[in-house]
């Protein structure tokens, strides 16, 4: 290391891959920084990798805090949950009123709200910030989603704008809103990520099992697709995965990996939050469910042996089906983004975050895991119409969706006919078909609810809510064995709406 100042301008708690890389990124942009970790090994690794930079590592929390210029700005990059609370408790004894504490991990937004309220009472500024881009993004330019204490963010804004990924010269970081807005946006980002990953995995399954393509053909296809409208980070890394062979072998490492997907919970949180605000995101929900289902490996093997035959090849012209598969993937990715943006818009009203969807799309265009060329279309849609209720209402998006819809229908139909599971594809298509249906059969559900539970219903062209006695109340005027007693229809009785 070169000579470093007595006081550092920024501190990082947690020197794992993400924390260490982000700290080195900050140092690369001319800021003197300090890092803290309980593990001396991590501290030594920071010192080794920061040779020649204004960086210092600490394993003593008090010495770490005292090394930072006041008012102190300190960021935590530690696992979400109780560990964050433990770090806050540890640091509070050394911090002073006016200091800034930043949670850069994947904390649940409700935890962030709680922590912000608690720390405000003792005079500490706090904000939660989602960070996306993995270890490479952290080192060379992530997408960041800060929210909470606006004044605290303004202090850190020059630092974060310097280290963020850039698209057309604009930094991929912006203030999201009050409270836990930053962590909420990152949570939905991760939900979209789950959906896109499941769609790409299902595409791989259709290629391999439905179209009989070998690994090299699949690699070439993803490479070609990534040069067109499907251009995105996740497709880009997929083509690389299909080129990587296990060391000292002649086959892909991918073929040795168990088909049991793991998760850290952020996709589940997205689904739970969507249910809390009564908003459908079925593609994301199915992606979460499929990760859970994949873990039942032994059960799947038993059922595979029991329910034969296995899925058959897709029927039809292979090249034409491959073209339609590209359309189906693009269609479903658009729908996944649309579901996520719709959730952000709805939750923003409920939680009073005042989220700006154009700004969110703008900072997702670079650095983050879900970056894609389509985010330019999302940005343009919400920039041109800030009151846009749903992405699918945008004329440009409508044109794109209409052009690929036939392919989506063909692929889902062919896969189902062949006995192949494509739950995220199916959910995307069904979501779209239902959302564009002016009159759904949900009126029957309301009638059923009123029948068995007197839950009431509303009538077309009439104010108020109604309840009907659908059958006579006396016992002998109900269903008898094998025959239904016919009675005069009951009149609707208006009832007072529930307050």
Residues forming the active site: 186, 193
For 17, other C-beta atoms within 10 Å of its C-beta total 16
CB within 8 Å of 478: residues ≥ 6 apart: 471, 472, 485
Which residue blocks in 164-317 are alpha helix, DSSP H? 181-205, 215-225, 233-241, 266-276, 282-294, 297-306
- State the DSSP code for 209: I
Task: Tell me the chain's radius of gyration from C-alpha atoms.
Answer: 27
**Half-sphere exposure of residue 72: CA atoms within 13 angstroms, side-chain side:** 27
Contact 181, 187 (CB under 8 A): no
Q: What angle do CA 318, 323, 324 make, to 5 degrees?
A: 95
Contact 19, 35 (CB under 8 A): yes
Kind of pairing between the strands at 143-148 and 170-171: unpaired
Task: Tell me the two tokens of residue 72.
Answer: 């102190």
> 335: closest CA among 499, 480, 192, 123?
192
Distance CA 143, CA 161 (A): 10
Cβ burial, residue 362 (10 Å; 0-12/13-18/19+) = buried
What are the DSSP calls for 8-66, one per residue? BSEEEE--SHHHHHHHHHHHHTT--EEEE-S-HHHHHHHHHHTTTSSEEEES-HHHHHH
443, 445, 450, 452: CA torsion to nearest 10: 160
* Angular region, 97: left φ>0, alpha ψ -120 to 50, beta rest: beta
Question: CA–CA distance from 485 to each of 471, 475, 489 (Å)?
Answer: 9, 11, 12
Expressed in percent and rounded to 5, the helix, strand and coil fractions of the chain are 55, 10, 35
Distance CA 214, CA 217 (A): 5
């Amino acid at each position: 290391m070169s000579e470093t100042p007595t006081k550092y301008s920024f501190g990082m708690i947690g020197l794992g891959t993400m924390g260490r890389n982000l700290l080195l990124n900050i140092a690369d942009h001319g800021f003197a920084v300090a890092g803290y970790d309980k593990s001396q090994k991590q501290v030594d690794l920071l010192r080794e990798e920061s040779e020649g930079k204004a960086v210092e590592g600490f394993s003593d929390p008090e010495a770490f805090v005292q090394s930072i210029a006041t008012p102190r700005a300190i960021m935590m990059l530690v696992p979400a949950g109780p560990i964050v609370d433990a770090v806050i408790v540890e640091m509070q004894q050394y911090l002073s009123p006016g200091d800034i504490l930043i949670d850069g991990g994947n904390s649940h937004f409700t935890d962030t709200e709680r922590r912000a309220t608690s720390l405000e009472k003792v005079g500490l500024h706090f904000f939660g910030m989602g960070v996306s881009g993995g270890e490479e993004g952290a080192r060379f330019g992530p997408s960041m989603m800060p929210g909470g204490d606006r004044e605290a963010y303004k202090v850190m804004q020059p630092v974060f704008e310097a280290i963020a990924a850039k698209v057309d010269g604009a930094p991929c970081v912006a203030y999201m809103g009050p409270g836990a807005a930053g962590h909420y946006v990152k949570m939905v980002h991760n939900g979209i990520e789950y959906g896109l990953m499941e769609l790409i995995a299902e595409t791989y399954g259709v290629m391999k099992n439905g179209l009989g393509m070998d690994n090299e053909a699949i690699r070439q296809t993803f490479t070609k697709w990534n040069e067109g409208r499907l251009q995105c980070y996740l497709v880009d890394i997929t083509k690389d995965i299909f080129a990587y062979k296990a060391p000292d072998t002649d086959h892909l490492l991918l073929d040795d990996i168990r088909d049991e997907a793991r998760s850290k919970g952020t996709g589940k949180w997205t689904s739970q939050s969507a249910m809390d605000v009564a908003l459908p995101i079925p593609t994301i929900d199915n992606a979460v469910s499929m990760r859970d289902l994949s873990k039942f490996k032994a059960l799947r093997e038993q059922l595979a042996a029991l329910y034969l035959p296995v899925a058959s090849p897709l029927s039809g012209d292979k090249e034409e089906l491959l073209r339609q598969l590209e359309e189906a993937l693009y269609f479903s990715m658009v729908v996944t983004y649309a579901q996520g943006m719709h959730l952000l818009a709805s939750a923003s009203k409920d939680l009073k975050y005042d989220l700006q969807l154009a700004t969110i799309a703008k900072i997702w265009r670079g650095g983050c895991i879900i970056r894609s060329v389509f985010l330019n279309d999302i940005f343009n849609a919400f920039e041109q119409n800030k009151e846009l209720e749903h992405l699918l209402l945008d004329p440009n998006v409508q044109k794109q969706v209409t052009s690929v819809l036939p392919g989506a229908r063909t692929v889902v139909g062919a896969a189902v006919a062949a006995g192949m599971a494509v739950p995220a594809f199916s959910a995307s298509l069904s979501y779209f078909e239902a959302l564009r249906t002016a009159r759904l059969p949900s009126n029957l559900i309301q009638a059923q609810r009123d029948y068995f539970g007197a839950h009431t219903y509303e009538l077309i062209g009439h104010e108020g809510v109604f309840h009907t006695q659908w059958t006579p109340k006396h016992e002998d005027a109900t269903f008898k064995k094998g025959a239904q007693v016919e009675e005069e229809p009951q009149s609707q009785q208006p009832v007072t709406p529930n307050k």
